[in-house]
Amino acid sequence: EVQLLESGGGLVQPGGSLRLSCEGSGFIFNIYAMSWVRQAPGKGLEWVSVMSGSGASTYYADSVKGRFTISRDNSKNTVYLQMDSLRAEDTAVYYCAKGSLRGVVRKHWDYWGQGTLVTVSS
């Protein structure tokens, strides 16, 4: 059974940093792209970033480019989102999502984690 478990959310002050983690199980982690998607309170979904299975390719939304960094440790079946220079508008539930097709980045997601809440406030 595929499972994705996010952690690392919490309350952080504007300008601060936070690192989210998403541990995958039930699938061969290192051959699937992994994404982060967020949802501000009461709002819709926003794609944040994606990394290929090998880690060689990464893409970001303009709203986080230069502030957020996606990475992965395939030995730990974990993908990370390092969030720096956080702003109030980054407040959201952050979900990780698994790419559906082995070795392919530009494809839909088939599994989602339960999400972790990040609140940026003083």
Partner 1 sequence: DIQMTQSPSSLSASVGDRVTITCRASQDIGNDLAWLQQKPGRAPKSLIYDISNLETGVPSQFSGSGSGTDFNITISSLQPDDFATYYCQQYNTFPWTFGQGTKVEI
CB of 82 to partner 1, least distance (A): 19
Segments in the chain forming alpha helices (H):
none
CB of 89 to partner 1, least distance (A): 16
Per CB under 8 A, 106 contacts partner 1:
yes
How far apart CA 78 and CA 117 sit, in angstroms, is 18
Per CB under 8 A, 57 contacts partner 1:
no
How far apart CA 4 and CA 115 sit, in angstroms, is 9
Per CB under 8 A, 110 contacts partner 1:
yes
Count of CA atoms in the C-beta half-sphere (13 A) of 87: 7
Contact residues toward partner 1 (CB under 8 A) are: 37, 44-47, 50, 59, 61-62, 95, 100, 106-115
